[in-house]
Amino acid sequence: MRFGLALASAAIILAAAPGGAAAGDPTPAPTLAPVGLPPAAAPPERAAPLKVIERLYVTSYCSRFIRHFNVAANVLIANDQHLEHTSSDLDALEADYVKRDGALLVYGDRNRLIEEVGAMMHSIPQGQVAVDDLLAQAHATKDTARREALQTTASQLQRSIDRQRAVTFDLSNVIHVLMDKHTIADTDEYHIAETMPYPNMPVIVHTLDDPVPEPGSTDAAQALAPQPASAKMVLQFDRQRSLIAHAESQAAIAAASVEKSCVVEDRQLPPGGN
């Protein structure tokens, strides 16, 4: 829990972190899932987990849908796995920060976190391009049922991508905090004391500029201090993952409807039909 002290300086930054897509991204989907969803909400029982569609269909419409849906699904599924690993990394940071050899352990934890976050930052734009194409396809679709199903699929995928983007942004701030080496020599109090005419003159100044505790530096006073919020609590990490899973489940339900219409269409086509 001592790691939470190092996150306190980033709380304001995290609270203002943007979670939506860029201004140029297509609408009509809202950029984030509804805030009113209960924190512990689980995906509906009837919803299967998000997965790629394995069957290929002969029509250009269905092939286009499956191709771009699978790109977005692969990105989201891979990033969900990265978030699972990130969850373990954050737990390790909490435990390692106060250990005697915490500096070395936290260094390894931070490097793993950097690797996971970097992979997500690299893949999210690829998923966004695929979702943009699904939205464009929905706008061009004349069949009402198909258009609604495709619109819902793209909208829910967009919500999931937006949440993953927001979590990734927040995690990048955690990494920056972990790399902050703000020692006593960097504080305002120290610099003021250095200007005093006599050595060791007391300086009674508090500018909320306390040094960042180093891993492994926990002393008796820190051990007795009130326990701060953990990194996951500050980030609302588990709630964000729940919202991501909920949006992915809704996308899977809607995509199954489009897939079903493609199966019917495939069966109606003559051999070798396009």
CA distance 9 to 162: 25
| 248 contact partners, CB below 8 Å, separation of at least 6 | 43, 49, 50, 76, 80, 156, 157, 160
pLDDT at residue 71 in the model = 96
Q: Which amino acid is at 205?
A: V
> Is 14 or 219 the better-scoring residue by pLDDT?
219
pLDDT at residue 51 in the model = 86
pTM for the whole thing? 0.67
CB 50 within 8 A of CB 73: yes
pLDDT at residue 189 in the model = 67
pLDDT at residue 104 in the model = 82
Tokens of 200: 């060791």
Mean pLDDT (the chain) is 75
Q: Which amino acid is at 188?
A: D
Tokens of 92: 């390790």
pLDDT at residue 112 in the model = 92
> Is 213 or 44 the better-scoring residue by pLDDT?
213
- Compute the half-sphere exposure of residue 101: CA atoms within 13 Å on the CB side of its CA: 4
Which ranges in 60-183 belong to alpha helices (H)? 60-96, 102-140, 144-178
- Kindly state the average pLDDT of the residues 224-239: 74
